[in-house]
Chains A and B, each alone.
Chain A
Amino acid sequence: MIKLVNVVKTYDGDVKALQETTLEFQEGEFVVLKGVSGSGKSTILSLIAGLLKPTSGEVIVDGKQISKLPDHFCSEFRRDTIGFIFQRYNLIPTLSVRENILLPLLPKNLAKEEMQEKFQRAVQLFHIQHKEESLVKNLSGGEQQRVAIARANVNDPKIILADEPTANLDAKLSLDFIEIMRGLKVSNRTIILATHDPLFFDLDFVDRVIEVKEGQCY
């Protein structure tokens, strides 16, 4: 389903973030990319999401060469296929929970009822319905994380990418997050999670752990 073929990513011409890498992820697979900061995990996620173009090589998702797509087609692809959970959540603090979660649906011009239905499903699934009118800046870290997950899922994406999702959470909230991921795995999403948190390395529902070290995958 997701293929990286001989992908190299270099920043500013000389910082080699990813050495020539070939990787494949199957549909419904839960893969953990483990490695220290700067090892190249986030680069892999950004390449799959089409947020970055490789320096050379191909990134193919669902038979489509994402790395060759013009930017605005890449945005459409991302909107329809990928849910991205960022380390710092990347929510808009001055908007409410509802507005943040509905954001990915706005460009699709859906009917009001359909948007409401998707919104309700997302907030109920991630237990955030009691906060739907609160401003995001007034929420705790754990609540913000749930909003970020709800936003990433509101479009029912086939693929979920999570970049250090528990870096800003305490142990209890991290365990809560793991349970949410378990639920998503059951719904047959392809999930790729980049982390250096050992909590994820021995989980029963994780299909594969790939170690990323100095831009190479092991």
Chain B
Amino acid sequence: MSLFVAEGLVMDFGGLRAVDGVSFRIEPGEVFTIIGPNGAGKTTIFNLVSRIYDASAGRLIFDGEDITRVPPHEVARRGIARTFQNIELFEHATVLQNLLLGRHAHKRSRFVEELLFLPRVRALELEHREAVEKVIEFLDLQPHRDSLVVNLAYGVRKVVEMARALCTRPRLLLLDEPSSGLSVEETEDMAFWIQDIRTILGVTVLMVEHDMSLVSSVSDRVLAVNYGRPIALGTAREVQEHPDVVKAYLGG
């Protein structure tokens, strides 16, 4: 059974139809990539999947359940985590605090318990910390644990954001342009990490990406969109050579 299904997604912004009947299925354990020229509606699809936008039409099914009308904060609890194209970290907090917030979906302490910082809260905090430390270990973030995000380099922030998403223990990870703004070496590292996330952690990945070398090295299947409509679906090579995709990128 598919882990995630999008059926006939439509998103209207006033008179502009940004997404027009996009459907796809993501199988468990695959890396699924959406590509397309600027303004094709890739990020809008992302915001629909993470429920920040309400779809004008269509259905979203995650793990057999309809999540089309589930509130955005509930999506994380069900196992979908995301990163952002323009990095939305909590800048005036440390890396550790950022990652601990990633554990928010697993919060079990109540307000009054926290007010008095009862032993149960302490025990739960230690549990969260251990989970976070595993992610820090996984992504080699040890040197940055206590630094403020504002003081970090862009490339490191990208990794921290991915780490924060992993802290929610997702089953589906949405990566919005993981390589944008990264150097060639950093992009290569990113490719390794995405492969590790899939093979070691067993997390399914949905990705929007422009860098074709990254796309072809990690993706199992690629969906190309243009003007909000799907134009090709298949392996990276198939999609790259598809006449409509070539036309969308080069014109003609």
A binds B: no
